[in-house]
Amino acid sequence: MSPDSPRSIILDYITYIGVGISMACLVICLIIEAIIWRKINKNPTSYLRHVSIVNIAVSLLIANIWFIIGAAISDADKKNPPACTAATFFIHFFYLALFFWMFASALLLFYRTVSVFDGGLSKISMLIIGFSLGYGAPLIIATITIAATAPSNQYIRENVVCWLNWYESKALLAFVIPALMIVVINFIILIVVLYKILRRRVGGNAAQAGEKHVLYVIARSLAVLTPFFGLTWGLGVGTMVDPKNFGIHVAFAFFNSLQGFFILVFGTLLDKKITDITGKNTEHQCWNIIWWTEQLVPENENGQRILWGVLKEYGVPGLLIQAVKSLYDWCQSLVCIVGNDVVLLSSSGHDLQLLLEQFAAKCEAARMKISASKSETIVLCRKRVAYLLWVGEEVLPQVEKFRYLGVLFTNEGKIKREMDRRIGAASAVMRALC
What DSSP string runs through 124-158?
Answer: HHHHHHHHIIIIIHHHHHHHHHHHHHGGGT-SB-T
CA distance 266 to 50: 13
CA distance 219 to 210: 14
Q: Which residues pair with 398 in a beta bridge?
A: 377
pLDDT value, residue 27: 94
Residue 293 has pLDDT above 50, yes or no: no
DSSP annotation of 3 reads T
Residue range 227-242: mean pLDDT, rounded: 73
Contact 149, 165 (CB under 8 A): yes
Contacts of 157 (CB under 8 A, 6+ apart): 3, 163, 164, 165, 166
CA distance 163 to 172: 8
Mean pLDDT taken over the chain: 76
Task: For residue 164, give the 3-state DSSP assignment.
Answer: strand
Contact 120, 111 (CB under 8 A): yes
φ and ψ at residue 97, rounded to 5 degrees: -60, -40
Contact 231, 251 (CB under 8 A): no
CA distance 322 to 382: 35
**For residue 241, what pLDDT band results from cuts at 50, 70 and 90?**
low
Contact 95, 134 (CB under 8 A): no
Alpha-carbon Rg for the chain, nearest whole angstrom, is 28
- Count CB-CB contacts under 10 A for residue 125: 10
Amino acid letter, 237: V
Q: Which residues pair with 342 in a beta bridge?
A: 337
Residue 210 has pLDDT above 60, yes or no: no
pLDDT value, residue 172: 87
Q: Which residues pair with 403 in a beta bridge?
A: 408
Residue 81 has pLDDT above 90, yes or no: no
CA distance 152 to 197: 51
Higher pLDDT, 255 or 239: 255
**Residues 248-286: pLDDT tens digits?**
878 877 887 778 888 888 888 877 666 656 554 433 333
350 burial (CB, 10 Å; 0-12 / 13-18 / 19+) is: exposed
Residue range 297-301: mean pLDDT, rounded: 48
Residue range 287-304: mean pLDDT, rounded: 43
Q: Determine the Cα angle at 323 with ends 319 and 329, to 5°.
A: 135
Residue 421 has pLDDT above 70, yes or no: yes
Higher pLDDT, 269 or 185: 185
Contact 232, 256 (CB under 8 A): yes
> Helix crossing, 81-114 with 206-241: angle to 10°?
140
pLDDT value, residue 350: 74
**For residue 332, what pLDDT band results from cuts at 50, 70 and 90?**
very low
Contacts of 101 (CB under 8 A, 6+ apart): 52, 55, 56, 59, 130, 133, 134
CA distance 354 to 237: 53
Nearest to 102 by CA among 196, 194, 186: 186
**Residues 5-63: pLDDT tens digits?**
556 777 778 878 888 888 999 999 999 888 888 776 666 777 888 899 999 999 999 99
